[in-house]
Chains A and B, each alone.
Chain A
Amino acid sequence: MKSVLLPEPRGSLLTAWQEINWPLVILLTLIAGAGTATLYSVAGGSWSPWAFQHVMRFTVSLLALFVVGFVPLRYWLALAYPAYAVALGLLVLVPIIGEISMGAQRWIMVGPVQVQPSELMKVAMILALARYYHGLEFKRVSNPIFLAPPLAMIGLPVALIFKQPDLGTALMLGASGVVVILLAGLSWRVTIVGMIAAFAGAVGAIKMGLLKAYQIDRLTAFMDPEADPLGSGYHLLQSKIALGSGGLSGKGFMQGTQSQLQFLPEKHTDFIFTIFGEEFGFIGTILLLSLYFAVFVTAINIAMRAKSHFGRLLASGLSISFLLYVLINTGMVMGLAPVVGVPLPLVSYGGTVMLTVMVGFGLVMSTWINRDQDTLRTASTIRSL
Chain B
Amino acid sequence: MRLEPFDTQRHMVFSRRATLFGGGATLLFLGLASRLYQLQIHDHVNYKALAEDNRFNQKIITPVRGEIFDRFGKPLATSRQNFRVLMVPEDAGDVELVLNEVADLLHLTDKDLKRIRKEAARQRSFTPVEIADNLTWEQFARLNFLTPQLPGLHSEVGATRSYPLAEAGAFVVGYVGAPNDRDLAKADDQEKLLLRQPGFRIGRAGIERTFEKKLRGEAGSVTVQINAHGRVIEEYPNLANEPVQGQPIGLTIDAELQAKASAILADVNDDGARLNVDKHELSASAVVMDVHNGDILVYASVPAFDPNEFNVGIKQSRWQELNESPLKPLLNKPISGAYPPGSTFKLITAIAAQEAGIEPSHRVTCRGSLWYGGVEFNCWKKEGHGTLDMRGAIKHSCDVYFWDLAQRIDIDKLAEVANRFGLGLPHDIGLGGQVAGTVPSRAWKKSYYRSNPAQQTWFPGETLSVAIGQGALTATPLQLAVMVTRLATGREVHPRLVRYQDGRGALDPVFQPLAMDLSELDVVRAGMDAVVNEWGTAARSRLDKPEWRMAGKTGTSQVRSLQYDPVTGRRLKNYELPWKDRDHALFVSFAPYDAPRYACAVVVEHGSSGSGMAGPKAREIMRAVLTKDPALKSAWSPPLKPVKTVSRARTDRPAGIEGGRP
Binding site for B on A (CB under 8 A): 1, 4-6, 133, 137-139, 141, 179, 182-185, 230, 234, 238, 240-248, 257-258, 261-264, 277, 281-282, 285-286, 289, 292-293, 296-297, 300, 303-304, 309, 312-313, 316, 320, 323, 327, 330-331, 334-336, 374-375, 379, 382
When distances are taken between beta carbons in the complex, the residues of chain A under 8 Å from B51 are 241-242, 244-245, 257-258
> What are the interface flags for B1-30 relative to A under an 8 Å C-beta threshold, 1 for contact and 0 otherwise?
101101101110111011001100110110
Asked if B36 is an interface residue, CB under 8 A from chain A, the answer is yes
Cα separation A320 to B228 with both chains bound (whole Å):
36
When distances are taken between beta carbons in the complex, the residues of chain A under 8 Å from B515 are none
The residue on A at minimum CB distance from B13 is A185
Cβ of A258 and Cβ of B4 under 8 Å apart? no
Cβ of B50 and Cβ of A289 under 8 Å apart? no
Asked if A244 meets B228 with Cβ closer than 8 Å, knowing A138-B9, A304-B15, A309-B10, the reply is no
Chain B contacts with A in 371-405, Cβ cutoff 8 A: none
Cβ of A303 and Cβ of B18 under 8 Å apart? yes
Cβ of A286 and Cβ of B1 under 8 Å apart? no
Looking at the assembled complex, report how far the CB atom of A98 sits from the nearest CB atom of chain B, in whole angstroms: 28
Looking at the assembled complex, report how far the CB atom of B662 sits from the nearest CB atom of chain A, in whole angstroms: 10
Pick from A179, A184, A282, A375: contact of B41, CB under 8 Å: A282
Asked if B276 is an interface residue, CB under 8 A from chain A, the answer is no
Pick from A262, A297, A300: contact of B229, CB under 8 Å: A262
Cβ of B18 and Cβ of A263 under 8 Å apart? no
Asked if B465 is an interface residue, CB under 8 A from chain A, the answer is no
Binding site for A on B (CB under 8 A): 1, 3-4, 6-7, 9-11, 13-15, 17-18, 21-22, 25-26, 28-29, 31-33, 35-37, 39-41, 43-44, 46-48, 50-51, 54-55, 225-229, 233, 660-661
When distances are taken between beta carbons in the complex, the residues of chain B under 8 Å from A316 are 14, 18, 21
When distances are taken between beta carbons in the complex, the residues of chain B under 8 Å from A258 are 51, 54-55
Asked if A245 meets B47 with Cβ closer than 8 Å, knowing A320-B21, A327-B28, A327-B32, the reply is yes
Query: Can you give 13 contacting A-B residue pairs, CB < 8 Å?
Result: A141-B10, A183-B14, A183-B17, A243-B47, A244-B39, A244-B44, A261-B228, A261-B233, A262-B227, A262-B228, A286-B36, A304-B15, A320-B25
Looking at the assembled complex, report how far the CB atom of B30 sits from the nearest CB atom of chain A, in whole angstroms: 10
Cβ of A183 and Cβ of B660 under 8 Å apart? no
Cα separation A347 to B529 with both chains bound (whole Å):
102
Asked if A241 meets B18 with Cβ closer than 8 Å, knowing A247-B40, A247-B44, the reply is no
Cβ of B29 and Cβ of A293 under 8 Å apart? yes
When distances are taken between beta carbons in the complex, the residues of chain A under 8 Å from B229 are 262
Cα separation A292 to B15 with both chains bound (whole Å):
21
The residue on A at minimum CB distance from B35 is A334
When distances are taken between beta carbons in the complex, the residues of chain A under 8 Å from B40 are 243-244, 246-248, 277, 281-282, 285
Nearest 6 interchain pairs by C-beta: A244-B47, A245-B51, A185-B13, A261-B227, A282-B40, A138-B10
Cβ of B233 and Cβ of A245 under 8 Å apart? no
Cα separation A316 to B10 with both chains bound (whole Å):
14
Cα separation A263 to B226 with both chains bound (whole Å):
10
Asked if A243 meets B36 with Cβ closer than 8 Å, knowing A261-B225, A374-B7, the reply is yes
Cα separation A323 to B33 with both chains bound (whole Å):
15
Cα separation A336 to B32 with both chains bound (whole Å):
8
When distances are taken between beta carbons in the complex, the residues of chain B under 8 Å from A182 are 17
Cα separation A182 to B227 with both chains bound (whole Å):
47
Cα separation A317 to B51 with both chains bound (whole Å):
40
Cβ of A309 and Cβ of B7 under 8 Å apart? yes
Looking at the assembled complex, report how far the CB atom of B5 sits from the nearest CB atom of chain A, in whole angstroms: 10
Most buried by A among B3, B10, B31, B660: B10
When distances are taken between beta carbons in the complex, the residues of chain A under 8 Å from B44 are 244-248
Looking at the assembled complex, report how far the CB atom of B559 sits from the nearest CB atom of chain A, in whole angstroms: 64
The residue on A at minimum CB distance from B54 is A263
Looking at the assembled complex, report how far the CB atom of B70 sits from the nearest CB atom of chain A, in whole angstroms: 52
Pick from A179, A234, A245: contact of B48, CB under 8 Å: A245
Looking at the assembled complex, report how far the CB atom of A270 sits from the nearest CB atom of chain B, in whole angstroms: 16
Asked if A245 meets B50 with Cβ closer than 8 Å, knowing A183-B21, A282-B41, A320-B21, the reply is yes
Looking at the assembled complex, report how far the CB atom of B657 sits from the nearest CB atom of chain A, in whole angstroms: 13
Q: A133-B10, A247-B48 known; 6 other A-B pairs, CB under 8 Å? A: A245-B48, A247-B40, A257-B51, A261-B225, A303-B18, A316-B18
Looking at the assembled complex, report how far the CB atom of B233 sits from the nearest CB atom of chain A, in whole angstroms: 7
Most buried by A among B6, B25, B226: B25
Cα separation A303 to B1 with both chains bound (whole Å):
24
When distances are taken between beta carbons in the complex, the residues of chain B under 8 Å from A179 are 21
Cβ of B13 and Cβ of A138 under 8 Å apart? yes
Cα separation A137 to B9 with both chains bound (whole Å):
10
Cα separation A285 to B18 with both chains bound (whole Å):
26
Cβ of A5 and Cβ of B47 under 8 Å apart? no
Pick from A133, A241, A331, A335: contact of B50, CB under 8 Å: A241
Cβ of B11 and Cβ of A309 under 8 Å apart? yes
Cα separation A257 to B51 with both chains bound (whole Å):
8
Asked if A297 meets B1 with Cβ closer than 8 Å, knowing A241-B54, A374-B7, the reply is no
Looking at the assembled complex, report how far the CB atom of B267 sits from the nearest CB atom of chain A, in whole angstroms: 65
Cα separation A379 to B54 with both chains bound (whole Å):
68
When distances are taken between beta carbons in the complex, the residues of chain B under 8 Å from A1 are 3
Cα separation A12 to B39 with both chains bound (whole Å):
51
